[in-house]
Amino acid sequence: MTKTGGDPTRDAAFALLSAVLDRRAPLDAALAGLADIAPRDRAAAHRIAAAVLRRLGSLDAILEPHLRRAPPAPVRHILRIGAAQLALLGAPAHAAVSTAVGLAHARGLGKFAGLVNAVLRKVSADGAAALEALDSPRLDTPAWLWASWGAAARAIATTHQGEAPLDLTLKDGAAVPEGGERLPTGSVRLPAGTDVTQLYGYAAGTLWVQDAAAALPARLLGDVAGRRVLDLCAAPGGKTAQLAAAGAAVTALDRDARRLARLRENLDRLGLAAETVAADALDWRPAQRFDAILLDAPCSATGTIRRHPEILHLRRPRDIETCAALQDRLLDAAAAMLAPGGTLVYAVCSLQPEEGARRIEAACGRLGLRRAPLGAAELPGLAEAVTPAGDLATHPGMWAERGGMDGFFAARLQG
């Protein structure tokens, strides 16, 4: 990150927005470049940048009436940061405006300082009311995504407006951390912003971070105790941990050796064991086929927008086609590694139908697999997530009163 001598939090937020919106970098990758600033400033910068990315359409809409002409992209980023602080994050008006003006000077944009000051003062006066009058869910969602989500689009987009809570998976018998809510499916939920490393049980290795929806696909394999289970595309390892904790003999495969190293670190903290293989699932073949396989396939990740709001701005329709082609190849590879009569669970953290049921229909026709439909009793308190075909399909608008959940599709297949 380029140091400018300005306010470190706002300067870092500017760097994050520039990385995502100008250079199309993932937010996590951009955040990794902020290691040279204090953790508190880093966390605050991430919160500001995420708020801007989550509500970009609405923020631009409340800025637009106060702009005679379109400002340069860096100036627009500064205005968005200021507007987000004023209209969304509850910052005092004088602080939000003065730090934005300071950021303009620090970034060599001093000739626009007067514009930044004038526009944000107007936003401080009427921005909250202007925001309230907008159809924000629609404005903050690209049209192609909104159309693809069908009747659930508004519920999904409304949930995207807020930060995601912290969900945990606990080992059997582990105590629920103070302030945690046990969800019907077994996950434990704490408020957004909770620092997992400070929770009772983290250092002792009795819990790990995993969204309530992400914890469901591994459970679709049923009782895995004593069975040989392959976790394909396994990193960062939440599902591997679930399977190992349930008594499976797990082989965790991932093509990214660095991510696989983090998986091993997580398993070490949890006191769990699994064989790890750094290889491409499209090429690797085992000496012996597996009783059960979990394929959490690479995808568009549109189901995780609450946690990764940059996806709204980085994904394009053509990306879905690319993902679907890879998913077909991975399903072919997984089927070749499955023992006769074995169980294969295919999962994606995507809301796109092209990556979900359509892939399963194609795979069944191509590979001779058959669906093993889910029953509503397998998903306590979440029967609405069972599709007519017997697949799992969650979206952020489900459990809205509890804070929502990630979007996941999963199908259980028999060899």
Provide the annotated active-site residues.
349
C-alpha to C-alpha distance for 362 and 350, rounded to whole angstroms: 17
Cβ contact 390:384 at 8 Å: no
Residue list, annotated binding site for S-adenosyl-L-methionine: 233-239, 254, 280, 296
3-class secondary-structure state, position 100: helix
Cβ contact 231:239 at 8 Å: yes
Q: b or e along 347-357 (b: 16 or more beta carbons within 10 Å of the residue's beta carbon)?
A: bbbbbbebbbb
149 CB-near residues (< 8 Å, 6+ apart): 156, 157, 351, 395
Torsion of Cα atoms, 386 then 387 then 391 then 392, to 10°: -50
Residue list, annotated binding site: 233-239, 254, 280, 296
Cβ contact 243:231 at 8 Å: yes
Residue 191 phi, psi (nearest 5): -65, 155
C-alpha to C-alpha distance for 5 and 124, rounded to whole angstroms: 26
Q: Which residue has the tokens 């690797």?
A: 284
Q: How far is CA 310 from CA 17, 45, 269, 289, 382, in A?
A: 9, 14, 30, 39, 28
Biggest alpha carbon–alpha carbon distance for the chain: 71
3-class secondary-structure state, position 385: helix
C-alpha to C-alpha distance for 41 and 85, rounded to whole angstroms: 15
Q: b or e along 88-111 (b: 16 or more beta carbons within 10 Å of the residue's beta carbon)?
A: beebebeebbebbbbbbbbbebee
